[in-house]
Amino acid sequence: MRQNAAIDEEQRFLDRATARRDRLAEHLRAELASEVTDAVQQARQRMLRGQHDELRRAQEGLVFGRLDALDGTVRHVGRVGLSAEEMDGEPLLLDWRAAAARPFYTATAVDPQGQARRRHIRTTGSVVVGVDDEPLDGTAAGDLVGEGALLAALDQRRTGRMATAISTLQREQDEIIRARASGPLIVQGGPGTGKTVVGLHRVAYLLFTHRQMAEQAVLVLGPSPRFLDYIAQVLPALGETAVVSATCDTLLPGVGVGRAESRRLAEIKGRALWQEALDRFVASLLPQARELKLRWEGEFYVIPAATVGQALASAVPGRSYHQARLVFADQLHHLLAEAVAEQREALLAEMEEGYEEILARFDRGMPPGTAHGSSSDVDGLLSEEEIDELRERIAADASIARFLEAWWPIREPATLLRTLLSDRARLAEFAPQLTPEEISLVVAEPAPWSSSDIALLDAITDLLGDEETSLFSGGEPVAEQARRRRGWVYGHVVIDEAQDLSEMQWQMVLRRCPSRSITAVGDIDQAQAAHRHTSWAQAVQAAFGDRWTAAELTICYRTPREVMELAGPVLARAGSHNAPPRAVRSTGIAPWQRSVPAAELAGAALELVRQLQQRWQGGTVGVVAPADRVDGLRAVLGEVPVLTATQAKGLEWDATLLVDRDGIAAEPRGWNGVYVALTRCTQELGQLNSA
């Protein structure tokens, strides 16, 4: 079919699909306008509102693909699913996440999956601007799905925000997106392989396929606030709102990082040993069994040590410090109520024995056969209702509460952690794996929290526990509830740049997803964190042991072949045994270098950035430099992003200017940082070095 005719054909279908979407949205609006009176109707309204919002957001790229089956069936694929006008007809438009749409991403000439042709439809707003037909009979060359559409998307100018990629996902990406979510999946992918795209589109797929996840929300962890801002519009554009985005530093509500820390200290505090150390420390704070003497309404009552021990043994196992305290307090109120009742019964029994003796003496002086009263029908026993009432009075008594607070005090996590981290003797006792020199470094730390402290604070907060009980509150969106609740359990967690998580940060993740339904994407060769893990097995051993699944992205779509040719030698200098991903596109622009005296670097950078901005108008230019040059360059370059290699991870620009490569190589992660810096561009790379 001629190109113009194919465009006209797809324009007619797009018009039809747009009209159908508008009619469905209008129908949903009418239903949402109706009054609701009960919880069932409210739940249905929430579902309808979600459907309406999804349709409303499906403006750009409503239709982007078509499958022509060998049997003549034609199916279109798009952002959302649209039902047919006829009640029993085939769907007008397949949702990209539906099983029936999968051949659009996975069919090949070798395995056509019943398809004769795949068509990629390019649109701008409501206008079809191009089509790319891909026969699946072996006549098409290449190993990319929809190569024309993919390369066209990659050549577009960067805006500083990531866009959706549902129309250009590749086979190896789709296989990971649709993989089972029953355990940890670790995805290794070099620069430009679409790791972030895979992670975010996997969220959308899982929420579509496993509806219960929307009730629990999905957590997306990124390496920095800048990165989260970069990806912020992707999931809403895909219609997903049951998602919380955060960094490890912002996972603990109400707590923030107040200072930087040395890499040495970050490495020490990131070790898995702290989990056991904090567990032992909190366990040492639990009260020991002893005889308890309690005062109630002017009388003293004794709870024997053996009884206290039994209560502790039933309250503590499997519970946090404060949860165990609540359980023990309830038992203590019950034990005291029983002690009060028993003492009252004993007192009444003594009174009754004395009264019976008086009556006996009186009877001996009375004529035979004379009747007298008896107290035998007064036993002094309290009814269950009376004991329950007594227990409630004891539970509300301020003096009993003060006694419990003194014997088993409520602990504040931040205060408790500071107590441990500032006490050399306690650290030696509870973290014996630390050397005296390492303990000295920890104790010498100033007060504000550092990044590695957040993971420790999260761990001790979890061990202490809280009194949260309810999962939902009114009509508040689930993502908002999850965001402000430390103890929220998510349905799934996606981690980007996961190679940089410390062992204690992995524990933060596990606490929020005990089911271990986790997808972690990253590149072990781009690790910038203080730890020295050189393989995924080392990085996740403490969290998962050997119980995780590995996947790999092998094709670089973003970074030009001309740039990736520089990556192999850099990786070798970094000590990596991995091969860089295979680049599939070329821009024809060779990377270039300039050298100037060190004092002239900032001025030269300004001139070169201006030239790049001129060449890539409508796109973006970014600068990567050593940490000690960043402030000076920012002062000269103004609004142009100037970042360290660590800060630049996960980001991309049309053109990158790498300033002082040797300075980056001299930083702690050395050539790994250079590897990151080299691979941020989609079109052109320039390097500016000091002569």
> What average pLDDT does the segment 624-641 reach?
95
Predicted confidence at residue 666, as pLDDT, reads 94
DSSP line for 197-242: HHHHHHHHHHHHH-THHHHH-EEEE-S-HHHHHHHTTHHHHTT--S
Least reliable range by pLDDT among 19-23, 37-41, 312-316, 353-357: 353-357
Q: Which residue has the higher pLDDT, 579 or 115?
A: 115
Contact 14, 58 (CB under 8 A): no
Q: Which residues of 589-598 are buried (b: 16+ CB within 10 A; e: fewer)?
A: bebeeeebee
> What average pLDDT does the segment 406-429 reach?
96
Predicted confidence at residue 29, as pLDDT, reads 85
Rounded to whole angstroms, the Cα distance separating 644 from 669 reads 12
Both structure tokens of 176: 């990971």
Per-residue pLDDT tens digits for 355-404: 556 555 555 555 555 444 444 344 556 677 888 888 899 999 999 999 99
Rounded to whole angstroms, the Cα distance separating 48 from 54 reads 10
CB contact set of 48 (below 8 Å; sequence gap of 6+): 28, 31, 32
Q: How confident is the model at residue 197 (pLDDT cuts 50, 70, 90)?
A: confident
Residue with tokens 């798009």: 78
Both structure tokens of 35: 């009054």
Predicted confidence at residue 32, as pLDDT, reads 82
Predicted confidence at residue 167, as pLDDT, reads 60
Rounded to whole angstroms, the Cα distance separating 431 from 271 reads 11
pLDDT at residue 471 tops 60: no
Inter-axis angle of helices 503-512 and 536-544, to 10 degrees? 50
Rounded to whole angstroms, the Cα distance separating 294 from 300 reads 6
Per-residue pLDDT tens digits for 142-181: 555 555 555 555 555 555 544 455 666 788 888 999 899 9
Rounded to whole angstroms, the Cα distance separating 303 from 305 reads 7
Rounded to whole angstroms, the Cα distance separating 349 from 406 reads 35
- Burial-class residue 332 by CB neighbours within 10 Å (0-12, 13-18, 19+): buried
> What average pLDDT does the segment 64-79 reach?
91
Rounded to whole angstroms, the Cα distance separating 509 from 347 reads 58
| pTM score, whole prediction | 0.77
Contact 558, 678 (CB under 8 A): no
Contact 428, 273 (CB under 8 A): no
DSSP state of 375: -
Paired with 689 in beta bridges are: 595
Residue type, 455: A
Residue 427 C-beta-side C-alpha neighbours within 13 Å = 21
Contact 234, 200 (CB under 8 A): yes
Predicted confidence at residue 30, as pLDDT, reads 84
Direct distance between the N- and C-terminal alpha carbons of the chain, in angstroms, rounded to an integer: 58
> Is the CA virtual torsion 609, 614, 616, 617 positive or negative?
positive
Rounded to whole angstroms, the Cα distance separating 671 from 525 reads 10
pLDDT at residue 268 tops 90: yes
Q: How confident is the model at residue 229 (pLDDT cuts 50, 70, 90)?
A: confident
Q: How confident is the model at residue 413 (pLDDT cuts 50, 70, 90)?
A: very high
DSSP line for 443-454: HT--SS--HHHH
Predicted confidence at residue 45, as pLDDT, reads 74
Contact 519, 199 (CB under 8 A): yes
Read off φ and ψ for residue 595, nearest 5 degrees.
Answer: -130, 135
> What average pLDDT does the segment 538-567 reach?
92
Question: How confident is the prediction for the chain on average, in pLDDT?
Answer: 86
CB contact set of 464 (below 8 Å; sequence gap of 6+): 282, 320, 321, 322, 411, 413, 416
pLDDT at residue 189 tops 50: yes
Rounded to whole angstroms, the Cα distance separating 512 from 527 reads 24
Per-residue pLDDT tens digits for 565-609: 998 899 889 888 888 898 888 899 999 999 999 999 999 999 999
Question: What are the sequence ranges of the domains in the chain?
Answer: 3-141, 195-282+415-556, 286-410, 586-690
Residue type, 87: M
Both structure tokens of 500: 């940089």
pLDDT at residue 241 tops 90: no
The percentage of the chain sitting over the pLDDT mark of 70, rounded to a whole number, equals 86
CA 104 to chain CA centroid, Å, is 30
Both structure tokens of 78: 């798009």
pLDDT at residue 33 tops 70: yes
pLDDT at residue 408 tops 50: yes
Rounded to whole angstroms, the Cα distance separating 502 from 275 reads 12
Give start and end residues of each alpha helix (H) in 500-649.
503-512, 536-544, 561-564, 567-573, 601-615, 627-637, 645-648
Identify the CATH homologous superfamily for domain 586-690.
P-loop containing nucleotide triphosphate hydrolases (3.40.50.300)
CB contact set of 530 (below 8 Å; sequence gap of 6+): 263, 264, 266, 267, 270, 502, 668
Predicted confidence at residue 528, as pLDDT, reads 80
> Is the CA virtual torsion 345, 349, 355, 359 positive or negative?
positive
Rounded to whole angstroms, the Cα distance separating 222 from 592 reads 32
Per-residue pLDDT tens digits for 481-537: 888 888 899 999 999 999 999 999 999 999 999 999 999 999 998 888 888 788 899
Predicted confidence at residue 374, as pLDDT, reads 43
Predicted confidence at residue 92, as pLDDT, reads 93
> What average pLDDT does the segment 57-81 reach?
87
Instruction: Using alpha carbons, select from 303, 290, 293, 295 the residue that is nearest to residue 399.
Output: 295
Looking at the chain, how many residues does it have? 691
Rounded to whole angstroms, the Cα distance separating 646 from 266 reads 15
Instruction: Using alpha carbons, select from 677, 471, 480, 440 the residue that is nearest to residue 570.
Output: 677
Q: Is 650 left (phi over 0), alpha (psi -120 to 50) or beta?
A: left
Contact 683, 560 (CB under 8 A): yes
